[in-house]
């Protein structure tokens, strides 16, 4: 018998979560602030709850996925004491601080809290390759591990700390946005010669494939705290940034992204990393430059 589940929040993601539980045979109660969003799930076999308390009172696991964690707190408080003694899995995006604050709020009420972060879009929920990162007590995680498997094949608990998944989540977005911006900026640059993005993407693919080995080497060097150049030095990278900036300026393309790359390499060289490989730049990111944090 599959565990009963309550899903609070039926936006794009919450609806996908509830759909995945239903497909795996979990009796699923659903609640949403705007009740009409429950209709497609009710058609698939979900039971609509009129209140949060009614949704969670069925027992089993409660999953919440709302726009932000303020909404999560207000929604859970609206449940009164109905969540007491139950397990709450919060799959809402946010910061590690918010996750830890919600965990403390839950602990005060005897609610077992797992924070989860979805490395996924709604259309991939339930797929074998979809990963969700969790933080919280292993007893709570293990007790509901089977139900959580309905959301994707990658069910990973990072440890007891409920804040760690949020940190991993934003760190991975850091990589995603930087990589995509790199491709988009480069596409704008080659477009000045009427090169189609689709044609250029073939070469970007080659580069991305090669990056996997580069990332592995950088990770090893970062963990060792030693960045000896194994191919090119930062002193070799620096003039290449100048070539990129010159092409941007000549073609009217935004030169600020490569200027920021040049600035960080220049700082690394000024601090004695000129003969190091590219991983030496990591030291520049460990501490914000003076005054930078004031910009928010
Ligand atoms: N969509 C994605 O690709 C994706 C990927 C990873 C993570 N996420 C995360 O998943 C969460 C939900 O995203 P989504 O795409 O489902 O957003 P969405 O479609 O905009 O849905 C937002 C949900 O939050 C509810 N809500 C907002 N404010 C509320 C409040 N004050 N009280 C109660 N309910 C409230 C909405 O209820 P109403 O229907 O009544 O407005 C709706 O159910 C976000 O934290 C998002 O970052 C989304």
Co-location of 136 and 200 in the same domain: no
SS3 135: strand
Of 67, 119, 120, which is best to mutate to test ligand 1, by the most ligand atoms within 8 angstroms of its C-beta?
67
Q: Under a CB-based contact definition with an 8 Å cutoff, are residues 281 and 237 in contact?
A: no
Among 159, 177, 205, the domain boundary falls at: 159
153: number of Cβ within 10 Å: 12
Q: What is the pLDDT of residues 100-124, one digit of tens each?
A: 999 999 999 999 999 999 999 999 9
Enumerate residues 6+ apart whose C-beta is below 8 A from 86.
Answer: 56, 59, 61, 62, 111, 112
Question: Is any ligand 1 atom within 6 A of the Cβ of residue 66?
Answer: yes
Ligand 1 pocket mutation, candidates 7, 10, 66, criterion most atoms within 8 A of CB: 66
Q: Tell whether 22 and 86 lie within a shared domain.
A: yes
**Considering only CA atoms, which residue is closest to atom 20 of ligand 1?**
11
Residues 134 and 71 in one domain: yes
Shared domain check, 277 and 226? yes
| 10 lies in the same domain as 154 | yes
User: For 226-243, what is each residue's pLDDT tens digit?
Assistant: 999 988 999 999 999 999
CB 122 within 8 A of CB 16: yes
What's the 71 CA to ligand 1 centre distance in angstroms?
A: 9
Q: What is the DSSP letter of 288?
A: P
Asked whether residue 43 falls in the same domain as residue 143, the answer is yes
Among 116, 94, 130, smallest CA distance to 165 is for 116
Q: What is the CATH number of the domain that holds 199?
A: 1.10.1040.10
pTM score, whole prediction: 0.94
pLDDT bin (cut points 50, 70, 90) of residue 172 is: very high
Q: How many CB atoms lie under 10 A from the CB of residue 102?
A: 24
Please check whether residue 239 lies inside any domain of the structure.
yes
Tokens representing residue 51 in the block: 């209140």
Residues 231 and 93 in one domain: no
Distance 9 CA to ligand 1 centre (A): 7
Q: Is residue 33 part of a domain?
A: yes
Query: Which stretches does DSSP call E strand in 53-182?
Result: 61-64, 87-90, 112-119, 131-135, 154-159
Q: Is 193 helix (H, G, I), strand (E, B) or coil?
A: coil
Given a contact cutoff of 8 angstroms between Cβ atoms, the answer to whether 226 and 265 are in contact is no
For range 160-181, the mean pLDDT: 98
Residue whose CA is closest, atom 42 of ligand 1? Answer: 11
CA distance 243 to 240: 5
Q: In this structure, are 52 and 118 located in the same domain?
A: yes
Q: Mean per-residue pLDDT for 85-114?
A: 97
- Say whether both 152 and 14 belong to one domain: yes
Question: Are 87 and 76 within 8 A, CB to CB?
Answer: no
Q: Which atom of ligand 1 is nearest to the CA of 121?
A: 3
Q: What is the β-pairing status of strands 47-48 and 28-31?
A: parallel
Q: What is the pLDDT of residues 12-36, one digit of tens each?
A: 999 999 999 999 999 999 999 999 9
Q: Is the predicted pLDDT of residue 90 greater than 80, yes or no?
A: yes
The CATH number of whichever domain residue 65 belongs to comes to 3.40.50.720
Beta strands in the chain (DSSP E): 5-8, 28-31, 47-48, 61-64, 87-90, 112-119, 131-135, 154-159
- Among 8, 13, 152, which is best to mutate for testing ligand 1, by the most ligand atoms less than 8 A from CB? 13
Secondary structure of residue 129 in the 3-state scheme:
coil
CA of 144 to the centre of ligand 1 (A): 23
* Cβ density class 181-190: b for 16+ within 10 Å, e for less: ebeebbbbbb
Kindly tell me if the per-residue pLDDT of 288 is higher than 90: no
Q: Indicate the top mutation candidate among 7, 11, 52 to test ligand 1's pocket, ranked by most ligand atoms within 8 A of CB.
A: 11
Structure tokens at 276: 């190091």
Mean pLDDT of 53-61: 90
Q: Does the C-beta of 13 come closer than 6 Å to ligand 1?
A: yes
Which residue has 């449940």 as its token pair? 79
pLDDT score recorded for residue 275: 97
SS3 78: coil
Domain hosting residue 260, numbered range: 192-295
Average pLDDT over residues 190-196: 98
Report if residue 34 sits inside a domain. yes
Ligand 1 and 10: CB distance under 6 A: yes
Residues 10 and 152 occupy one common structural domain: yes
Residue 50 CA to ligand 1 center (angstroms) comes to 18
> Does the pLDDT at position 295 exceed 80?
no
Residue 211's SS3 state is: helix
Instruction: Look at residue 82 and tell me if it is in a domain.
Output: yes
Per the prediction, the chain carries an average pLDDT of: 96
Residue 179 counted as domain residue: no
Check pocket membership of 130 for ligand 1, CB cut-off 6 A: no
Looking at ligand 1, which atom is closest to the CA of residue 66?
24
Q: Closest Cα to residue 268, out of 253, 280, 250?
A: 280
What is the 163 CA–ligand 1 centroid distance (Å)?
A: 20
- Indicate whether 61 and 202 sit together in one domain: no
C-alpha closest to that of 183 among 218, 208, 165, 148: 208
């Amino acid at each position: 018998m599959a565990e009963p589940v309550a899903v609070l929040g039926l936006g794009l993601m919450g609806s996908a979560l509830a759909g995945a539980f239903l497909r795996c045979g979990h009796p699923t109660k659903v609640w949403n602030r705007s009740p009409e969003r429950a209709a497609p799930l009710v058609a698939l076999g979900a039971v609509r709850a009129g209140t949060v308390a009614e949704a969670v009172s069925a027992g089993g696991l409660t999953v919440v996925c709302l726009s932000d964690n303020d909404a999560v707190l207000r929604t859970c408080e609206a449940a009164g004491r109905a969540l007491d003694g139950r397990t709450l899995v919060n799959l809402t995006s946010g910061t590690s601080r918010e996750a830890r604050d919600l965990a403390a709020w839950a602990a005060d009420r005897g609610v077992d809290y797992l924070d989860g972060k979805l490395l996924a879009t709604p259309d991939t929920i339930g797929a074998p390759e979809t990963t969700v990162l969790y933080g919280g007590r292993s007893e709570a995680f293990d007790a509901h591990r089977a139900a959580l498997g309905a959301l994707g094949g990658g069910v990973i608990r990072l440890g007891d700390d409920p804040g760690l998944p949020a940190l991993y989540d934003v760190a991975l977005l850091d990589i995603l946005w930087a990589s995509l911006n790199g491709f988009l900026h480069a596409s704008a640059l080659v477009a000045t010669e009427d090169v189609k993005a689709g044609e250029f993407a073939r070469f970007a693919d080659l580069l991305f494939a090669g990056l996997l080995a580069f990332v592995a080497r950088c990770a090893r060097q970062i963990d060792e705290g030693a960045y000896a150049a194994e191919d090119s030095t930062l002193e070799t990278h620096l003039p290449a940034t100048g070539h990129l900036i010159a092409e941007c300026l000549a073609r009217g393309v935004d030169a600020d992204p490569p200027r920021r790359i040049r600035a960080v390499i220049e700082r690394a060289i000024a601090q004695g990393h000129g003969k190091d490989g590219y991983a030496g730049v990591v030291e520049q990111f460990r501490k914000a430059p003076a005054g930078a944090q004031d910009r928010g």
